[in-house]
Amino acid sequence: MVTRSTLSRFALFVLLPVVLVAFAQEAPAQPAAAGAAQAGDDGRDPLRQLSRQYARRSAAKSKERAAAAKIPPAAHEIHAPVLAFSQEHRASCLVFLGDRLPAGSLPDVDGTPRALTETRGRKLTAVVFWSADNPYGLDQFQEMQNELVPLADEGVQVVAIHVGAAPTDYAQLCRDNGQDMLCLLDADGAYFAQVASRKLPRTYLLDADGSIVWLDMEYSRATRYDLRNALHYFLQR
């Protein structure tokens, strides 16, 4: 007859090795965890390293775009820009191809009023409406140094208009990213309200007379491609 005591001893005999093996496997993990914590204290935290690697890759890509900005695509790759807007997006555009941006003046970083009609480039003017609160707009503003400013020698003027109240670090953002372009502030959004009803960021390409020859209302890989094509298409013309 098998008693309860016998069963208990048998269960202990079977389970004890399993517990010991599990403990042995877990024991080495404790120093590793402590090491990971120490790594975080001295700046070798894995997440921090990944973040730094991403920043380095992003900076490298930015430099690549800046170097490539001046180089026009092959002749067979350049084509007349084509706009494909939905009805909803088209309805949000208060000015469109062939129109001019409204007249007016906006303050620069120093607070000096600058007339929009006096900001035209010799050949083209790239005007970007952005907001620091919009991640896509902020990304585009930070990349304008690499994608647009390099074409200044070709006669392209670059204007960045921040829509909405300036963030606390606005002046620093302009110093870090906008030193080679004209940064203007549309604090109450009244100027932008004459251009579009919504949707940031927006990019407008103007000819030497100030007429809109191309525009888009987002910032993505497709936008970068289309903007580069439009810039070189109209520069060659």
pLDDT digits (tens, 9 = 90+) for 84-105: 899 999 999 999 999 999 999 9
pLDDT tier, 38 (very low <50, low <70, confident <90, very high otherwise):
very low
pLDDT over threshold 70, residue 10 = no
Place of tokens 């009805």: 87
- Alpha-carbon distance of 208 to 149, in angstroms, equals 17
Map residue 123 onto helix, strand or coil.
coil
Per-residue confidence (pLDDT) for residue 7, from 0 to 100: 45
Length of the chain equals 237
pLDDT (0 to 100) of residue 44: 53
Q: Which residue has the tokens 């203007």?
A: 184
What does the pLDDT look like over 188-220, one tens digit per residue? 999 999 999 999 999 999 999 999 999 999 998
Residue 94's SS3 state is coil
Q: Give the global pTM.
A: 0.72
| pLDDT for residue 36 is more than 70 | no
Mean pLDDT over the full length of the chain: 81
Looking at residue 31, what is its pLDDT?
Answer: 43
Q: Is the pLDDT of residue 46 over 70?
A: no
Strand partners, 186: 163
* Rounded percentage of the chain residues whose pLDDT exceeds 70: 70
What pLDDT is recorded for position 159?
97
The crossing angle, in degrees rounded to 10, of helices 4-26 and 29-41 is 30
Query: What are the strands, taking DSSP E only, across the chain?
Result: 105-107, 113-115, 124-130, 156-163, 182-186, 202-206, 212-216
In tens, the pLDDT along 137-192 reads 999 999 999 999 999 999 999 999 999 999 999 999 999 998 899 999 999 999 99
Beta strand extents in 85-232 (DSSP E only): 105-107, 113-115, 124-130, 156-163, 182-186, 202-206, 212-216
- Please give the pLDDT value at position 226: 93
The whole-number pLDDT of residue 65 equals 65
How many percent of the chain have pLDDT more than 90? 58
Instruction: Report residue 19: phi and psi, to 5°.
Output: -65, -40
Take residue 198 and report the two structure tokens written for it: 């919504």
